[in-house]
Amino acid sequence: MARAAFLGLFSFFLFTPSLASAAIFNPEVFTLKNGLRVVVIPNPRIPAITHMVWYKVGAMDETPGKSGLAHFLEHLLFKGTKVMAPGEFSKIVARLGGTDNAFTAQDFTAYHQTVASEHLERVMKMEADRMQNLVLTDPIVLPERDVVLEERRSRFENNPAAELSLKVAEALYGNHPYGKPVIGWADELENLTTADALAFYRRYYAPNNAILVVAGDVTAAKLRPLAEKIYGAIPRREIGSHGTDQEDGIQEARRVVMRSTEVRQPSFLRRYLAPNQGSAAAGEAQALEVLAEILGGGGTSRLYRQLVVEQKLAAAAGAYYDPVARGPASFSVYSAPVPGVSIATIEAAVDAEIEKLLHQGVKEEDVARAIRRLRASAVYARDSLDTGAQMLGAALAVGLPVAAVEQWPERIATVTAAQVIKAAKNVLRIQRSATGLLLPAEVPAMENGPHP
């Protein structure tokens, strides 16, 4: 499942203050004896629940040469257990009137169902079953490998914009695992085996490497005995180390130029290495979130106002920052020219706005407006059935505490203009960036564009 929309939502709300109080979801948290962490987010507005199991393992945990394995295993978890036939899991959820899906990222893998609250125990039993009883054989695994290869072709190899994003990530992160795609490199993916999938499953799919999050018409008093009965009986396992000690990314600017006969509108993308929430200095991640809002967070942002509205050079322009990661995060800016405007002109215009911000700074009123916009957009976060489950699950899966979500409103409220410009000068450095240009086949690329 593609996660772009979710990650944008998560990053957005994680760094958004509540209008009413510092706490956003007021979760109840406890840990079972086998190490499974449980988060309950009561939300009784409708008689339904979102049930999620997050595994603290993703693409960055794959061994070299096995790229795509975490995502491949995500597919295989729908292929049946000792008591459930392949595909039966989703059919049962559908018969219950619910929905289910899963997604894999660099840092975690998550499985989720949304059903009427009366069916909570049923989906808990099914999810606990596939945590420990997955059955994989070549006749099941090898055809699904072909499905994933076809997914890769349709989502990336036949999508120039998506392929550019992969190439820019590879250029930005170098030998770090974030430089390889979650879906894997095709030549490695096509050689994954049943034994590979089973070994990955047996190592990482354990209760002490998982987080159970249930949001909706439920309380901890109701959920705890169910969790102890259903998940508590699953034995914990030794997980070992996660991730890799490989380098954290590039030390010099890199450029990627792609041309395609399928491209009609050129586009520009630049990603700068940035600290994640856990590694950032005090207040730095909050300042970067405010910076992204000021620079490219919507129709009133500097990039949009200058490039799209005033200069009429671009059809789109923006910026975003995603700090929820175990490894190095990134701060991105993007734009796409209107017909008749060259990609060189767009890159120069983006660089000019960044240069202006770095040299002239931002005003306190700019920061205050950005925070107010974030406040106004976040007021509905509590009303969503699954937003809290997604936010808290992802935060815990990358090693952040519950307080990273619940106390964030009061922290972002203290961001100052001085902090924003300090963070900008630390992160918006061309020597720690990768720039991607996507061009029609017949348009010559600007190999060495202007930089701030």
In DSSP terms, which residues pair with 385 in a beta bridge?
none
Q: Please, what is the end-to-end C-alpha distance for the chain in angstroms?
A: 37
CA distance linking residue 144 with residue 69, whole number of Å: 12
CA distance linking residue 192 with residue 67, whole number of Å: 9
CA distance linking residue 281 with residue 256, whole number of Å: 30
Q: How many distinct helices (H) and strands (E) make up the chain?
A: 17, 11
CA distance linking residue 209 with residue 34, whole number of Å: 10
Residues 6+ apart with CB under 8 A from 194: 136, 137, 138, 141, 142
Query: Are 341 and 446 in contact, with CB atoms under 8 Å apart?
Result: no
CA distance linking residue 124 with residue 141, whole number of Å: 25
CA distance linking residue 74 with residue 1, whole number of Å: 10
Q: Residue 74 catalytic?
A: yes
| Edge-to-edge order in the sheet of strand 99-104 | 28-31, 37-42, 210-216, 48-55, 109-116, 99-104
Which position among 28, 62, 74, 190 bears the catalytic label? Answer: 74
Query: Are 106 and 177 in contact, with CB atoms under 8 Å apart?
Result: yes
How large is the angle between the packed helices 343-360 and 417-427, nearest 10 degrees? 130
CA distance linking residue 299 with residue 404, whole number of Å: 28
Query: Are 303 and 429 in contact, with CB atoms under 8 Å apart?
Result: no
CA distance linking residue 331 with residue 320, whole number of Å: 6
Element (H, E) at 103: strand 99-104
Which tokens is 399 given? Answer: 């090693």
> What residues are annotated to the active site?
74
